[in-house]
Each structure stands twice: as structure tokens, then as C-alpha cells.
Structure 1
Amino acid sequence: MDLLEVMGRRRSIRLMKPYQPVEEEKIQAMFEAARIASHWGNVQSLRGVAIFRDSAPKEILDNVYASVAAWQIKKAPVTIVWYIQPAAVDDQADRLREITSKGAQGFGGYDVRMEALETKLIPRFEPLLENLKKPGLGEVDCGQGIA
């Protein structure tokens, strides 16, 4: 399946069977797709929580309903609430070391890749980390995982 076909098949569900439970495998597949979606620096700061209408405490449901003015949320048997974990940015250097050591980033032999990472790439990102925790860029990047 090519990219345009995937994009063309994407849907926003507005008609559902509120009485029909959503299979756990489908929910897990959505979390897995979000987990492997592209994310800058491989920090994977996107998080999600599945809230089941029939078993969640009333206070949780009321808070979800109050934050999203959409009738679909009240009817859906399960809602996934997505959020950003800004502190994940603190692990960026370790994530970059992990993917570089496996050969998934950089060029040349192991020593060349690791030296370039430690002397060039990581030092370029370090001054930006606190700004990358602020609202904006992380949310845009994590949108890929949600879509």
C-alpha cells in the first residue's frame, strides 16, 4: 500500500456502535503505531491512555467530556487521550546513542559514527533541550503518531 492510499483510507469516525466494545488488539495496535511513528531525536514523547466508558470513574469521564466538546466522546466505548511527556527530551542523547550504535544513524564504521554523534550532533541539541520541552514543536511532531 503506498502513502497516498494510506492517507486516503484514514477516517475520522463519527458513527459508531456505542454498545459494541472495541477489541483490545485494536487499541494495542493504535498504541503500537504511535510508538513506532517518526519522532525527532527518537525521544518518543507521545503518550496515550485508554479510557473505557463502562469502567472509568465518573470523575475521569467528566474531565474528558469537559475538555473535548464532542458528542462522539460520550458515545464511544473507549477514548484514547493523547499527551506529550516533555521530560522524555532528557533521554534524547541516550536514544541517539542507541540508534547510532546499531547503525541506524550516521555513516562510516562504529567509531566514526559514535565520535560524530558525541562531538557534533549531541552538542548541537543540548542547548535546545529546554526549549524543546515547551509547547509547540513536540506536539506537531507527535501528530504523526496520533494520525
Structure 2
Amino acid sequence: MKQYRPRIADKMLSRRLMGVGAVLIQGPKWCGKTTTAEQQAKSVVYMDDPEYMDQNIELASLSPKKLLAGATPRLIDEWQLAPQLWDAARFEVDHRDEEGQFIFTGSAVPADTEKIHHSGTGRFAWLTMRTMSLYESGESTGEVSLNDLF
């Protein structure tokens, strides 16, 4: 198993989870969205797991609350496969009235946005991830910091 390399996004995710009920991590494929989210998640649903994908999508249609049940923050990976989970999570955030309930990850906009009825404003925070920086990958010492320069 590969060792996790800490990311700048780790702290950003932690802060967002302390401030809102759910966080959406978006970005290109293979930038580390799921791996980063797994570091803070207490339970996970992998919507694209080939063994359970059809069941998960069906369950999302019939009883999305069941997919959202579990230790929090609960990671819903590749949530866009069942866009109705967005509104279900928004409803749960409102009724649980606690921060850090869900982490949604996905690299694509849902194919069927008609299944989303609420923007998520006030319930979801967005975190856009990019590929690893040279500092994160260990290819730079970080001696020169843009943050320090400005």
C-alpha cells in the first residue's frame, strides 16, 4: 500500500468540514480527491465499485438516506452517478444541524442535473483540487515560497 503524502488540501478540507455540513471536492481525474477525502472520512460509499454500483444507484433512487447513513464525515465517492444524493445530503445537513457530515467527491458534473433541486448554498462548501505541486510530491524543498514572496 502506498504511503499517503500530505496535501495542501488537507487543511482546507478540515476547515471546510468545521464550517458547513458537507464539502464537495472537485477536480480532474487522478488529482487525489478520493485519497485526500479518505484521510478524514469515518465511513465511505464508493458509488462506482463494480460489485455494488448497480445496487448503489438503485438504492439512491429508492432510499438515498440509507446511502448517507454511517459514521461522519461520510465520503460519497463519485456521487455524480446518483445526482439525487445531492438533495438528500442537503436535507440531512438541515435536519442533523451539525457540521462535517458529508464529503462528496467527483471529477464530472452529473449527467442529469434535473435530479438536483437545490444549489446547496449554506450547506455545501466547494474545494477544487489540482494535481500535486512539486512541493507536495517531494520534488521541491519549498525553500522559495510564492506565499512568502508576496
Q: TM-score range by the shorter chain?
A: under 0.3
Higher helix residue share = 1
**Bigger relative contact order, structure 1 or 2 (CA pairs below 8 A, ≥6 apart):** 2
Name which one, 1 or 2, has greater alpha-carbon Rg.
1
Higher strand residue share = 2
The alignment's TM-score, normalised by the length of structure 1, stands at 0.23
